[in-house]
Amino acid sequence: MIKKILLVMFLILTISSSVCGAPAQEPIEIYVNQNKIDSDVTPIILEGRTLVPLRVISENLGASVHWDNAERSVKVTAFSRSILLKIDDTEAIIDGETITLDVPAKIINDRTLVPLRFIGESLGAEVDWDNTLRRVIVNSGIPKIIGLSYEVFDGNQSVVISGDLPLDYSYQEVGENKLVVDIKGEMKVRDNSLHVYDNLVEKVFMAAIDADTPLTRTVIDISPEVSYQVHQTADGKAVVVSFANNLNDIDISRHGDDLHVKLATTSQADINYFFLTNPDRLVVDIAGALLSVDTPSVPNNDYVKDIRLGQFSTNPNTTARVVFDLKKVANCQVYQDGNITTVIFSSVKDRLVVIDPGHGGSDPGAVCGNIREKDLNLDIGLKLKNILEERGLKVFMTRQDDTYMSTYARAGMANELNADVFVSIHHNASESPSGSGTETLYYPDTEKEALASAIQKSMVKNVGLKDRGVVERPGLVVTRETMMPSALVEVGFMTNSDELALLINETFRQRVAEAIAEGIMNYLAVKAD
């Protein structure tokens, strides 16, 4: 018994001696940008990964931290980045994208600890581990300012200051008409000044203010009463000062039977214009513009009933919209000269459209049972003729009954008439019954493509068949040989049972005719000179 007791005591002493004699490891140190950071919670190593106090690291890298106690989650925001972590969850979310971590965030001594490399690199920092010194080394790096430009950015005239890393910036107005943007970073641009002298900005000058910090200052001389917004790109690597153009005058005058409308903006703007029906109206969108004008009264005229103004904004972009409510379909010419956009309304009564119902006579086209393509083409053509004539256009049909005419004769007839538009109506067929959809064919030419696009867009919107797009087809005689804008519409597939059921329905064919008419009117109404 005594021997057993002595043996146990010997083992206890041996183990105690071994533990006491083990060298204690040095605590892990944190260095951020060469400065030692003190924390009440020491970093730990878990499963081969170094976990560090989140708040200590993030705040020394210029980030903000928000703790959600209910969700047991922490959100870190820096520049334009957003990082979301949940305690004991290996999934993190960066800017909406889910990332899997090797080890999750932990709470130790009431402090949130996170994987060092993940949080550091997510905030754009360089992260190292010195095993000898047991030291965490984090360097955020000093951004370099590498670009200064004056350009159109997201539809707005803008001063763009770009760097190689996410930028920390502030801005303020100083004195009269001067905007100062300060960025923590080293100036590396070759040309540090821009002489603009437009109606928004006079000049831009950049200089290094503090070489030790370092700090780069950009001074922008802006015109009086110019609106602007300062924001960052999604990656945080550029600061953008966007200037809102102003629509500041609308002048309306009559010139004979025509109506001229001049839209004056502070500087030249990107515009988009289009024609809508039911009711008829012309819409002019001015990108990057703010409304600085009252709705004008409209003098007595044959074309424009009313003018409406609207403001659309998607921060930081904005669009001024001018809507012309029309008394009837008019020919609308839209063109720009510097900061002036002019819209001229005139009559369409002298416009001639040639409608060509494909095939006819001895040429039936595609045949499915007792349904012949030539009959469908003619029916839609006659319906289209009535619609266009009701809207004040002159119309000529290459055939109004079941007669045959060669393709060269059809094109030659349109040329002799000096028509403004030529539209040929056809239906598709395929060896496969699954072929489906509508398409519009054209000969390679800018105006012919524009007409085809207008018709195809209207067909897709109003008829509802699959969009097969506009198709360049150099070999088609009727579109190749016609001297005016021309297009060939393939309404649908007769060999597709579902589409054939629609094509033999008169109500559907009326809808097709109305869609083609709208496409033609859209093309004529907004055809710019």
CATH number reported for the structural domain that contains residue 300 in this entry: 2.60.40.3500
Supply the pLDDT for residue 209: 87
| In-domain check, residue 6 | no
Q: Mean pLDDT in each 10-residue stretch from start to end of the chain (529 residues)?
A: 48 45 66 79 80 75 81 80 87 87 85 80 77 81 88 85 88 89 91 87 90 86 84 89 88 92 89 83 88 91 94 74 89 87 86 95 94 97 94 91 95 95 97 94 96 96 95 96 97 96 96 95 68
| Domain end (from 189, 210, 243) | 243
Q: Are residues 378 and 481 in the same domain?
A: yes
| Domain end (from 314, 346, 378) | 346
| In-domain check, residue 19 | no
**Are the beta carbons of 223 and 265 closer than 8 angstroms?**
no
Q: DSSP for 8-40?
A: HHHHHHHHHHHHHHSPPPPPPEEEETTEEE--S
**Are the beta carbons of 258 and 304 closer than 8 angstroms?**
no
Supply the pLDDT for residue 528: 42
Beta-carbon neighbour count of residue 84 at 10 Å? 19
Q: Are residues 49 and 134 in the same domain?
A: yes
Q: Are residues 88 and 207 in the same domain?
A: no
Beta-carbon neighbour count of residue 226 at 10 Å? 19
Q: What SS3 state is found at 70?
A: coil
Q: Is 518 a catalytic residue?
A: no
Domain count of the chain? 4
Q: Is 302 exposed, middle or buried (0-12, 13-18, 19+ CB in 10 A)?
A: middle
Q: Are residues 118 and 152 in the same domain?
A: no
The active-site residue, picked from 186, 490, 499, 518, is: 490
Supply the pLDDT for residue 316: 55
- Give the chain's count of helices (H) and strands (E): 9, 39
CATH number reported for the structural domain that contains residue 129 in this entry: 3.30.457.10
Q: Are residues 485 and 510 in the same domain?
A: yes
| In-domain check, residue 150 | yes
| In-domain check, residue 370 | yes
Supply the pLDDT for residue 10: 46
Query: 3 vs 7, 8, 13, 15, 346, CA distance in Å?
Result: 6, 9, 16, 19, 121
Query: What are the backbone dihedrals phi and psi of residue 216, each rounded to the nearest 5 degrees, phi first?
Result: -115, 130
As a residue count, the chain comes to 529
| In-domain check, residue 461 | yes
| In-domain check, residue 312 | yes
| Domain end (from 330, 346, 362) | 346
CATH number reported for the structural domain that contains residue 372 in this entry: 3.40.630.40
Supply the pLDDT for residue 420: 94
Cβ neighbors of 167 (< 8 A, separation 6 or more) are: 79, 143, 145, 161, 183, 184, 185, 232, 236, 237, 238, 239
| In-domain check, residue 2 | no
Q: Are residues 382 and 507 in the same domain?
A: yes
Q: Are residues 495 and 360 in the same domain?
A: yes
Helical (H) or strand (E) element with 190: none
Domain of residue 359, residue span: 352-525
Q: Are residues 208 and 274 in the same domain?
A: no
Q: Are residues 204 and 260 in the same domain?
A: no
Q: Are residues 299 and 356 in the same domain?
A: no
**Are the beta carbons of 335 and 342 closer than 8 angstroms?**
yes
Supply the pLDDT for residue 183: 92
The closest alpha carbon to 259, from 294, 296, 292, belongs to 296
Q: Are residues 306 and 328 in the same domain?
A: yes
Supply the pLDDT for residue 15: 45
The closest alpha carbon to 80, from 62, 95, 99, 102, belongs to 95
**Are the beta carbons of 275 and 288 closer than 8 angstroms?**
no
Query: What are the backbone dihedrals phi and psi of residue 462, each rounded to the nearest 5 degrees, phi first?
Result: -100, -25
| In-domain check, residue 11 | no
Q: Are residues 294 and 177 in the same domain?
A: no
For residues 426 and 489, what is the distance between their CA atoms, to the nearest angstrom?
A: 6
